[in-house]
Structure 1
Amino acid sequence: MTSEITLFVNPTAGRGRGAHAAQPAARALRDAGFSVRTVLGADAEDALRRAREAVAAGTGALVAVGGDGMVSLALRAVAGTPTPLGVVAVGTGNDFARSLRLPVRDPAAAGRLAADLLKGGGGRDIDLGRVGDRWFGTVLASGFDSRVNDRGNRMRLPVGRFKYDLAMIAELASFRPVPYRLTLDDRTERQVEATLVAVGNGTSYGGGMRICAGARMDDGLFDVTVVGDCSRTTLIKVFPQVYRGTHLDHPEVTVHRVRTLTLDAPGVTGYADGEPLGPLPLTATCVPGALRVLAPADAPAH
């Protein structure tokens, strides 16, 4: 393994935390004896091209500095390769890092952990989800939650997470359950009226909302959370439970464990790791051991 490590940096993550976080992370890696090269890129596609070039050239690791969007981009460079992925989580949600119990908003600690694991030949293999040529590490969202994303992304003001709170209130006022057709493992077809369907490789989205609280990242299966035909009142009452994962006990919530799933519903966009995938129908496949990640082997995979 080469001693050169590539930092894959989003300078705008966390309202500018990405650029600042790169420095202590790089310092920790250099102090451990690694040489560090930084990849920025003029835009997402340029950054991805540069990251893929670094992986093809044999970099010792690709370390994503930013939030879940940056991790999502990094997966497109390292998934299915032996190059390990490190994460310096300084975004808004950081759900990928949370699922693996990695340091959050502590770039020096994240850099030290990555260096220790690289020196010890450590890390672990985890599953990833795949939709077409796109990979995801945490959750594929569809339904109410993806419509909140749609509306929030169209809003210019306010900035930050508050606009998604306003988008949620607006969606609650107009939302109706959606008729879904689900095909589980290419054989079982179910038609349900659902508020949302979330496909979890990891446990959470939205900065700690544990929508797929029982998901494991090393079992070769998705946890698919189906929230049924809920009234607005029920949805408002159940919503706080999502942060604890106790919503899974609600009678309107069903969980399926599958390797593949096709989601189909009219007028719904799928989002994975917070990034838009496109309109349904979409087919997601769990790919076992698709990623080597710099996370402790003894940390829970959920």
Structure 2
Amino acid sequence: MTWVGWVAIAAGVLAVAAICIAVVVYRQQGSLHRRLESGGVSAGARGLAREVDEGGALVAFVANPSKPDAADLHEAVRRTAAELGLAEPLWLETTIEDPGVGQTREAVAAGADVVVAVGGDGTVRAVAEGLVGTSVPMGLVPIGTGNLLARNLDLPLGNPLAALRIALTGNDRTIDVGWLRVLRFESEVKDKVAEAADDRPADTNQPRDHIFLVIAGLGFDAAMVADADPTLKAKVGWIAYFVAGIRHLRGDRTRVHVRVDDEKATTTRLRSLLVGNCGKLPGGLVLLPDAQLDDGWLDLAAIDARGGIAGWAQLFGEVVLQGWGVPSSRAPKIGRIDHRRAREVRIVVPGGEHAQVDGDLVGRVVEVAARVDPGALVVRVAAA
């Protein structure tokens, strides 16, 4: 059989797998909706909630109303509070103009003892930004597409009431956060390499730090985020990124200049450059196997693939192996991931590339800087 035949078979297998996963996601969403409609919580949860109430804790929720399950969850929370004789919790909704930072600061000013992010990764990022440095813990009720931080904290996915119990009664854990600053957007470069002057979101018109809790990236990964179909995301979740990625498999490699801490800058060509705080992604993939949320370091991954489909296949195999804790010693490699650590990193992409933070697009950039902020955020996790 020719290589074309093998590629066709592989594509068919991937398509079938994607359909199967989509069916599972659809069924999980239906099950989630039924659980929310049922309202109430278990007797154990009621006891735990009473402990919180007796301690006088004020709970605030910052929710993304655009998420399909947000309204049902609000009602479930209110019913639960009424059953337990609790005061009405604060429920603050995000807006297009303010995705959650202002609401979080409002909750802290009101004396909230814990602020719970109800939404996807964007809402979690915004709430985290509002809580950095305050010592007020952040709870998570993940109802988004990727739910990246929730995955890395081993919080329950697809079960918001279980996540709610942890947000109210779990243990506090201090973690690092990362910050990405865009020093030059592509649209600012004099040679007009930019696609358009309005290529960047409105909130990035001025240089500012963009918080990331999981992974920031430039290149292939950010192009997937930029190209993911919103309608498909709403239907099948993170699989939409997989579909978008297929369209970019034959894209050009990117030339980048990278300076780590105080070292001399190096130049290389690659597909993606990731800067991570932790490394677990949807689908069980682990891109940064040594990354820890509380080690005071950023973990870098330079991802490259040459030789067309063969390079990507080898790269995928390496990702799977490192997720299992098995290092790949195959040489030479046409698909590889090179790892290292840093506290600060400066990246220049002369040709311009998309950049993303935790799956949220920042824009097309030419120069960025990333740094770690050790122990800056407190999060609620399951009791040991």
TM-score band by shorter chain is 0.7 to 0.9
Listed one character per residue, the Cα deviations across residues 133-164 of structure 1 (whole Å, up to 9, x for unaligned) are: 22110000211111122222xx5665544543
Q: SS in structure 2 opposite 1:192?
A: strand
In the TM superposition, residue 189 of structure 1 has moved relative to its aligned partner by 1.7
User: Which 10-residue stretch deviates more, 237-246 or 128-137?
Assistant: 237-246
The answer for the alignment partner of 2:337 in structure 1 is 253
Asked if structure 2 preserves the Cα contact closer than 8 Å seen for 1:25 and 1:110, the reply is no
Instruction: State the 1:271 CA deviation.
Output: 0.4
Change (3 A) 1:166 1:101: closer
What's the counterpart of residue 18 of structure 1? Answer: 70
Quote the offset at 1:295 in angstroms.
Answer: 1.4
Aligned position for 1:235: 312
Q: Does 1:273 align with 2:358?
A: yes
Identical-residue share of aligned pairs (%): 27
Map of 2:11 onto structure 1: none
Q: Which moved more, 1:137-146 or 1:25-34?
A: 25-34
Q: What code does the residue aligned with 1:194 have?
A: L
Query: Is residue 83 of structure 1 aligned with residue 136 of structure 2?
Result: yes
Shift of 1:214: 2.0
Quote how far apart the aligned CAs of 1:285 are: 0.5
**Greater alpha carbon shift after TM alignment, 232-241 vs 197-206:** 232-241
Instruction: Tell me: CA distance 1:164–1:191, structure 2 relative to 1, closer, same or farther (3 Å).
Output: same
Is it true that 1:288 corresponds to 2:374 in the alignment?
yes
The Cα of 1:237 is off from its aligned counterpart by 4.1
Q: Secondary structure at the match of 2:179?
A: strand
2:199 maps to 1:138: no
* Inter-partner Cα distance in structure 2 for 1:103 and 1:126: 19
* Deviation (angstroms), 1:49: 1.9
1:239-264 CA distance string (max 9 Å, x none):
36536625963752210111111122
Aligned length: 289
Bigger CA drift: 45-54 or 184-193? 45-54
Is 1:169 the equivalent of 2:246? yes
Gaps of 5+ in 1: none
**Match for residue 280 of structure 2?**
204
1: CA distance between counterparts of 2:76 and 2:318? Answer: 36
Partners of 2:139 and 2:168 within 8 A in 1: no
Match for residue 8 of structure 1? 62
Decide whether aligned partners of structure 1 residues 237 and 34 sit closer, same or farther in structure 2, where only a CA change above 3 A counts.
Answer: farther
Provide closer, same or farther for how the CA distance between residues 26 and 70 of structure 1 changes in structure 2, counting only shifts above 3 A: farther
Q: Conserved in 2, the CA contact under 8 Å of 1:9 and 1:19? A: no
Per the alignment, residue 111 of structure 1 pairs with 164
Q: Describe the SS at the equivalent of 1:271.
A: strand
Higher helix share: 2
Distance 1:141 1:46 in 2: 21
Cα distance in 2 for residues equivalent to 1:10 and 1:286: 27
1:61 shift after superposition: 1.1
- Equivalent AA in structure 1 for residue 315 of structure 2: V
Residues 60 and 84 of structure 1 are in contact (CA less than 8 Å); yes or no, is this contact kept in structure 2?
yes
Q: Alignment partner of 1:102: what SS?
A: coil
Residue range with higher mean Cα deviation, 36-45 or 267-276 = 36-45
> Is 2:180–2:216's contact at 8 Å kept on the other side of the alignment?
no
For 2:345 and 2:270, locate their aligned partners in 1 and report how far apart those are by CA, in whole Å: 16
- Give the 3-state SS of the residue equivalent to 2:249 in structure 1: helix
Deviation at 1:296, TM superposition (A): 4.1
The change in CA–CA distance for 1:219 and 1:2 in structure 2 (over 3 A counts) is same
Q: TM-score, normalised by structure 2?
A: 0.68
1:94 matched to which residue of 2?
147
Given that 1:90 and 1:105 are in contact with CA atoms closer than 8 Å, whether structure 2 keeps it comes out as: yes
User: Residues 277 and 32 (structure 1 numbering): CA distance in 2 closer, same or farther, change over 3 Å?
Assistant: farther
* Letter of the 2:339 counterpart: V
Contact 1:25 1:88 in 2 (8 A): no
Give the structure 2 partner of residue 123 of structure 1.
Answer: 172
- Report the RMSD for the aligned CA atoms in angstroms: 2.6
| Structure 1 range deviating more: 137-146 or 233-242 | 233-242
The partner residue of 1:220 within 282, 296, 302 is 296
- TM-score, reference length from structure 1: 0.85
User: What SS is found at the alignment partner of 1:267?
Assistant: strand
Letter in 2 for 1:58: G
